[in-house]
Amino acid sequence: MKNLIYFMIIILLSGSLHAQDSGIESILLPSPVFKGKVSIEEVLSKRRSVRHYEDNPLSIDDISQLLWAAYGVTKSHDSPAFLRGGLKTAPSAGALYPLELYLIAWNIDQLKNGIYKYFPEDHSLKLVMFGDKRDGLSAAALGQSWLKDAAGAIVYSAVFSRTSDKYGTRGEERYVCMDLGHSAQNVYLQGVALGIGTCAIGAFNDTELKELMNMPEDETLLYIMPIGKMEE
Ligand SMILES: Cc1cc2nc3c(=O)[nH]c(=O)nc-3n(C[C@H](O)[C@H](O)[C@H](O)COP(=O)(O)O)c2cc1C
């Protein structure tokens, strides 16, 4: 809570500074909950790709829950370092965890518009940059303008070498995207349980989106998953 307040004060003071310039550290997300109101069977039977959203913000609790479901730690281990905090909600070939998750926020309570990176090891977000990125995101997604009606988007990338260094071509051509599928399905399912819709988007311009997000050279973009309150 102290971290959250500190983060909010800094954000209010710093306008639209670039994170690297602003020295802003990270925002600890609220703890996820481990008991929901609907059964896994009901969630599975209702899962659909959703492209229409209510014009309501998502809460920071929603974001915490979705990111935890996607790639949160379920069994803590301090080492080895590549575990980045421990075993996670999604399986990963060799427990090498090649995925990186970002949140692009434009209608999230208590979170200024911008791009944030998710850190599973302490269930935190670190600011990449401020700004409303929804137009740029939609343009990079080959003009899929419906995504702008969401409240934000989870964007997946992967550092392929984490897996291919050990598993070679098989790791590169199969395992990384298998890992992605496991994690992304968790976002779909957790979303249904919370009344939040999403849709996996694979159609986008890699160069444009990487540039928009100021993404490190060694990361390859994989999915955009807009997230927003499902219409009744
Ligand atoms: C690899 C992959 C890429 C996809 N890319 C897009 C996309 O760019 N835009 C879109 O609207 N839906 C996209 N989808 C969602 C599919 O259209 C959707 O899953 C399919 O129509 C089946 O519908 P359902 O998910 O509601 O069962 C993609 C799905 C997958 C698995």
Kindly indicate the confidence band of residue 109, based on its pLDDT and cuts at 50, 70 and 90.
very high
Tens of pLDDT, residue by residue over 128-167, are: 999 999 999 999 999 999 999 999 999 999 999 999 999 9
Nearest Cα neighbor of 112 from 93, 130, 94, 98 is 130
Q: How many whole angstroms from 11 Cα to the centroid of ligand 1?
A: 35
pLDDT value of residue 2: 46
DSSP states along the chain:
-HHHHHHHHHHHHHTT-BHHHHT--EEEPPPPPS--SS-HHHHHHH------B-S-PBPHHHHHHHHHHHH-EEEE---SGGGTTEEESS--GGG---EEEEEEESSBTTB-SEEEEEEGGGTEEEEEEES--HHHHHHHTTT-GGGGGSSEEEEEEE-THHHHHHHHHHIIIIIHHHHHHHHHHHHHHHHHHHTEEE--B--S-HHHHHHHHT--TT-EEEEEEEEEEBP-
Tens of pLDDT, residue by residue over 137-148, are: 999 999 999 999
| Whether the CB of 45 sits within 6 Å of ligand 1 | no
Q: How many CB atoms lie within 10 A of CB 2?
A: 7
Averaged over 27-32, what is the pLDDT? 97
Distance CA 167, CA 34 (A): 33
Q: Which residues pair with 18 in a beta bridge?
A: 129
Kindly indicate the confidence band of residue 232, based on its pLDDT and cuts at 50, 70 and 90.
confident
Q: How many whole angstroms from 202 Cα to the centroid of ligand 1?
A: 8
Q: Which residue has the tokens 């209510």?
A: 54
Tens of pLDDT, residue by residue over 48-67, are: 999 999 999 999 999 999 99
Q: Whose CA is nearest to atom 20 of ligand 1?
A: 49
Residue 205 pLDDT > 90 = yes
Q: How many whole angstroms from 201 Cα to the centroid of ligand 1?
A: 6
Q: How many whole angstroms from 10 Cα to the centroid of ligand 1?
A: 38
Q: Is-contact 229 107, C-beta < 8 A?
A: no
Kindly indicate the confidence band of residue 38, based on its pLDDT and cuts at 50, 70 and 90.
very high
Averaged over 17-25, what is the pLDDT? 44
Q: Which residues pair with 118 in a beta bridge?
A: 125
Q: How many whole angstroms from 188 Cα to the centroid of ligand 1?
A: 12
CATH number of 2-229: 3.40.109.10
The number of the ligand 1 atom at minimal distance from the alpha carbon of 181 is 31
Q: Whose CA is nearest to atom 13 of ligand 1?
A: 201
- What are 92's two structure tokens? 């990963």
Q: What pTM does this model have?
A: 0.91
Averaged over 159-178, what is the pLDDT? 98
Residue 6 pLDDT > 90 = no
